[in-house]
Each structure stands twice: as C-alpha cells, then as structure tokens.
Amino acid sequence: MTHDTPLSPRPLHHLADGRRRLMTAAQLRAHGVSAAETGRQCRPGGPWQQLLPNVVLLHAGPPTSEERLHAVLLYAARERTPAAVSGGPAPASVPRQPGGQQPFAADPEAMITGLAALTLHGFSAAPPLPSLDALDVLVPRLRRLRSTGCARVVRTAALPTAVRVTGLPVAPVARALADAVAGLTDPGVVHRLLTEAVRGGHCEPAAVVRELNRARLLGRPHVVDAVDSLVAEGRALAEEHLYRMVREHALPEPVWNVDLRLPGGPGLGGVDAFWPEQAVALELDTRGAHRRQEDDAARAEQARRREHLERLGITVVRLAPRKLRASPEHQAAVVRTALMAAEDREPAAYVVVLPR
C-alpha cells in the first residue's frame, strides 16, 4: 500500500455533508481519499479548493470567516493522528459551531492572535473578520512554518495559555494587543485599541505594557503616546472603582488625592486617600502600568517613603486596581480592618494634609 492509496474506496459526497467543511490532507487520506483524488477535486472549477497547504475546503464557494479561522489553525497545528484533529467527531460536551463546522480540537501550540483575536474578544475598535486579508496565528519560535495565503505566522519564545472564544484557541487580550500593535502604524487605531482594552475591562494596563515591552514596541513614538493615555485611563478607572467602593461599603469618607507633609519639614509624598483621624493612607498600586520599567533606585525610594510613613504611625494600605475591580468587598474589608486597628495603636505623628 502506497502513501496515496485510499484506506477504503468510499464516495466523496459523504465528506461535504454540512458537518465538515474543512479537512487536512491527512484527514482526507484517513477517509479513503488519495492525494491524487484530492488534487483532482481541487482543480479550477472543481467542487473543492485548497485553502492553505494541506488544508482543503470542501466546497467551491468563498470561505466564511469561521472557515478561514479554522483553516489557519489546521495549517498551524502539528500533524496528529486523524482521530485527534478537528475533522474528527466533536466531543459530546462541545456544541457545534455556527455554519456546521466542527469545534476546533485543542492544540496547545497554535492560537489566533493579533487583530483577529481582538475581534473575537469583542473589541469594537478591531476590524471585522471579513476585512482582514490575513489572520495571525501564534506558534512556538522553532516551528517550521511560513506565512502563506490567509495565514500569517507569528512566532514566540514563550507561548501563552490560550483562551477559548467560540470554541477556538485565542491568545489572551494583552498578547493579542501586542501582536496587533506590532503591525500597525496608525496612531489613532493603536490609541483606540489600547483604550478599549482598559475601558472595556478586558485587561489591566500593566499587563498590556508588559507585553508591549516584551515585544520591544515601547520605543515607537505612536505607541509611547498611546501607552501614556492607557496609563491615564487605567488610573482614572481605578480611582472611580475606589470612590465606588468607599460609598457602597459605607466606609468613612477620606480626604482624596492629598500630599502629606511634616509641619515645617519635608514632604512625605502623595496618597490617593487619607483618613486623618485613624492615620490610614491608601495608595493605588499602579506603578506596574508605567510605560518604562522602574529601576532599582526608584523602587527603593518608594519603599523608603512607605517605611517613613509607617514609622510616623501612619498605616499604608496598597490596593491593586485589578483586585479593586474584581473583589471590592474584600478590598473594603482590608481598609475597614486598618481603620479599626487604629484604636489599638499609639497616636500617629501630626502631619499636614495639602491638596495634591
């Protein structure tokens, strides 16, 4: 038996029965279709078409966006046994996708990224899938693949954990953003995508900046400007969540956004909220979202400032914006505990409170 010999001579119409619309060459061979027969079916005017190398579309019309996504993932997936790939029977626990295409089988080494991933994540600023000439697919750096047709290969040394969107493996938002920004030159588009990532609650500014820094994109002027707006947007949202937490969980009203100073002495720095009677200061931990990595000296200076406040008897509470948004009840309990503990402490040093 040769490589192209059909495993069983079955009619071809059973393959395009509405349940499968894409198959790899290996899957077709497993269904008894030789390479020669596949080539005949894919001739101009034939009932099939080769959408990507080794990926066959089992109808003659234009592929849908869903079919293009599945085709790109099939092209990038490692060769596996026919029963393990997308053309095989769908698991009973996974519903079929619209249009009759089987849900894509898990492949930890290929996922949709870039603008297509952002569209799948629900970004209104990302273009619709039909308008994208190429779909980015993220694979390990050592994979021997090339960009071709509608598949644009993006390589990475550290593959993130994919998330499932409509049954497809998709890069997390922060990674998809970095891969999208890498190919964009329009400052307005970059700004809108980064702003929506934070305003829409898709991810934290710090996560986006880490990915942009990893991709060495922070040296591009239009990216730097967009990141500055991203950080400002993230901080404004964090402050809004902080105000809401204080109101909705009946915490005592603090003084907001103030500088602390010793009488006649040096400044102690600014805090986002301060309860003078309890000597409790609150800081939003947004330093990780800065567009440039902090050096050791800056981090050490921040630590010294906090230690100085605590030596003066001022309790410093630091809240991460992500936790403030995800679990305001828990964060309110942390603040309330600090306020209640003030009764058991020695009185704090007197400090001057000035508007920031």
CA proximity to 233, closest of 204, 212, 210, 255 = 204
Mapping DSSP onto H, E and C, the string for 239-290 reads HHHHHHHHHHCCCCCCEEEEEEECCCCCEEEEEEEEECCCCEEEEECCHHHC
pLDDT tier for residue 100 given thresholds of 50, 70 and 90: very low
Please tell me the distance from the alpha carbon of residue 232 to that of residue 309, in angstroms, as a whole number. Answer: 26
d(CA 144, CA 88): 25
**How far apart, in whole angstroms, are the C-alpha atoms of residue 214 and residue 208?**
10
In the block, which residue shows the tokens 């090339």? Answer: 146
Strand 49-52 versus strand 55-57 pairing type? antiparallel
CA distance 7 to 32: 5
Pairing between β-strand 168-170 and β-strand 255-261 as defined by DSSP bridges: unpaired
Classify residue 348: in a domain, yes or no.
yes
> CB under 8 Å to 214, separation ≥6 — which residues?
178
Predicted local confidence at residue 91, as pLDDT:
29
Answer whether residue 110 is part of any domain.
no
User: What pLDDT is attached to residue 14?
Assistant: 54
* pTM as predicted: 0.74
Indicate whether 21 belongs to any domain: no
Average predicted confidence (pLDDT) for the chain: 84
Averaged pLDDT for residues 119-135: 96
Q: Contact, 136 vs 154, CB < 8 A?
A: yes
Number of structural domains found in the chain: 1
In a domain, 152, yes or no: no
What CATH number is attached to the domain comprising 264?
3.40.960
Contacting residues for 91 by C-beta, under 8 A, at least 6 apart: 103
Instruction: Give the torsion sign (CA, 252, 255, 260, 264).
Output: negative
DSSP structure class, residue 99: G
In this prediction, residue 151 has a pLDDT band, given cuts at 50, 70 and 90, of: very high
Q: How many residues does the chain have?
A: 356
290 located within any domain: yes
Tokens of 142: 């050592």
**pLDDT tens per residue, range 7-52:** 333 445 555 544 568 999 999 999 899 999 999 999 999 999 999 9
The reply to whether 134 falls in a domain is no
Ranking 4-13, 75-84, 131-140, 235-244 by mean pLDDT, the lowest is 4-13
The range of the structural domain enclosing residue 303 comes to 247-355
pLDDT band with cut points at 50, 70 and 90 for residue 98: very low
DSSP codes, 105-131: PP-TT-EEEHHHHHHHTT-TTSPPGGG
**Is 306 a member of any domain?**
yes
- On whether residue 269 sits in a domain, the answer given is yes
Alpha-carbon dihedral of residues 55, 59, 61, 67, nearest 10 degrees? Answer: -50
User: What tens digit of pLDDT does each residue of 212-225 get?
Assistant: 999 999 989 989 88
Percentage of residues in the chain with pLDDT exceeding 90?
A: 60
Locus of tokens 């190429």: 134
Please state the separation of Cα 290 from the chain's center in Å. Answer: 18
Q: pLDDT by residue (tens digit) across 156-208?
A: 998 999 999 999 999 999 999 999 999 999 999 999 999 999 888 898 888 89
What is the C-alpha separation between 208 and 325, in angstroms, rounded?
17
